[in-house]
Each structure stands twice: as structure tokens, then as C-alpha cells.
Amino acid sequence: MRYVSRSFRQMDRQGISLRTELRDTLTLAAPIVLSQVGHMSMGLVDTVVAGRISTTALAALGLSVNCFWTFTSVCCGALLALDAYFSQAVGARDERLLGRYLGQSFWSCGMVALVSGFCVIAGTVLYLLFAQPSEMSAAFGIYMRTIIWCLPSLFVFFVIQRYWQARHKVLPMTMIILGANVLNLLACLALGLGRWGFPHLGVRGLVLATVISRHSMLFAGLAYLVAISDYRAVRFEAADPPLALRR
């Protein structure tokens, strides 16, 4: 507490307003928190709709989502290292280096997508090999064989989100995520429950809704990147790491 109080006193002596600092922090952090809640709420929507289908669908969905995110979360964590690279380039106002880092990040997405896809397939095969044949294991297989197609869109959008976060433009990505949640809800009702004349696909409909929503996020993120940023500055050759990281 003494250290915190001393820091506040130093800020006051340096003419830095605590209210200004809090406002700037909340302006940047609030959309980031909201976007993370949006990512989690997409799974919540699937769970709520799955409960309207059957208890078997609900159990299969819970098992499938946990299995899928066990592998993909590790790969997303590996991509978090890009935050430091993007922030260093933005702080140095080096647009050329920033474009090279962004290009290299897309190669990183391809590599982690391959690793994650291999792990998801291996986990699915092992479960179906040792599990007793049942409706739940069949639904699990349907979900896992379909959800794997959203891996590239998941990782590429994750990188685009980190890129704009480093440039202090987080609200557009948050709006894209919230829009994808609305689309996911409508697609779950349409394909999962057969609303509005669509076929009743059950678990297959829920996972298709997720894949559609993830790809819509990717297309919207790429469209924003092309419209706002100079996409011609993106370079795919190797870039040197920032000086602070080399030390």
C-alpha cells in the first residue's frame, strides 16, 4: 500500500492526472474485456440451445468443447507472444516493420493451426476408439469432425485482433465479435432447432453455426484490415525481433 500511495504522489508531482490515466486505461481495457466475454458467450449460446435439443446433445457438446479448447488454447497462448512484437513496432512508429511482423504472424497461424488440428484429430480418434458406442459418442464425433474447419479462421482473427489492439483500436474488433454472437444465436436456432423452415440438424447444426460465425468474424476482420490499414505494407519475409526482446 505504501508503494501504491508513493506512486500516486509521484504522478501528482509530475502533473499526471489520475483521472486521466484511469479514463485512458478504461477506454482501452473495456472493449478488450467485452470482446473476451463475447468469445466465451459464443459457447454459452451453444450450450443453452443444446439443452433444448436433448440431454445427450448437451453432454456431447460439453465434452466436445472442452476437448477442442484444450488443444487450441495452448496454440492461442503461443500467439500471444505477438503482442510484444506489434507493440514494439507501433511504439517505434515503424510501419514497415509492423507490416513484416503481421505477415510473419500469418505464417505462425498456419503452423499452430496444423499442430492444433493434429491434436484435435488425435484426441477425437482416441476417444472414439476407447469409448462405448452411443448417441453421445456419435454426436461427439460429428462435432469434432466439423469444428476443425474453423481452426484457420480462429487463429487468423486472433492475430488480427492482437494487431489492432497494439494500435489502440479495439472497439471495431469488439463490435465484430458481438455481431458474430448474434449471428451464432440465429444460426443455432435455425440449424440446431429447425426454426424458420430450416432443417433440424441437432448437434451438427450447432457446430455449423459456430463455424459460420467464426468465418464471418474472419471475413469482417480482414475487410476492416484492408479498408483501414495499408495491406500492401504486409510483408512475408523474416523480420528481426525487437531490440528489447533480443536482450
For the chain, percent of residues with pLDDT exceeding 70: 80
95-148 tens-digit pLDDT: 888 888 888 888 888 899 999 999 999 999 998 998 888 888 888 999 999 999
pTM score, two decimals?
Answer: 0.78
Domain ranges of the chain: 29-241
The DSSP string of the chain is -HHHHHHHHHHHHTT--HHHHHHHHHHHHHHHHHHHHHHHHHHHHHHHHHHHH-HHHHHHHHHHHHHHHHHHHHHHHHHTTHHHHHHHHHHTT-HHHHHHHHHHHHHHHHHHHHHHHHHHHHHHHHHHHHSPP-HHHHHHHHHHHHHGGGHHHHHHHHHHHHHHHHTT--HHHHHHHHHHHHHHHHHIIIIIS-GGG----THHHHHHHHHHHHHHHHHHHHHHHHHHS-GGG---S--PPPHHHH-
Average pLDDT of span 170-179: 86
> So what's the pLDDT on residue 172?
86
Average pLDDT of span 30-36: 67
Q: Is the pLDDT of residue 8 over 80?
A: no
Average pLDDT of span 85-89: 85
Tell me the pLDDT of the chain averaged across its residues.
Answer: 80
> So what's the pLDDT on residue 16?
58
Using pLDDT thresholds of 50, 70 and 90, give the confidence band for residue 239.
very low
> So what's the pLDDT on residue 231?
54
Average pLDDT of span 162-191: 87
Lowest mean pLDDT among 10-14, 133-137, 198-202, 205-209: 10-14
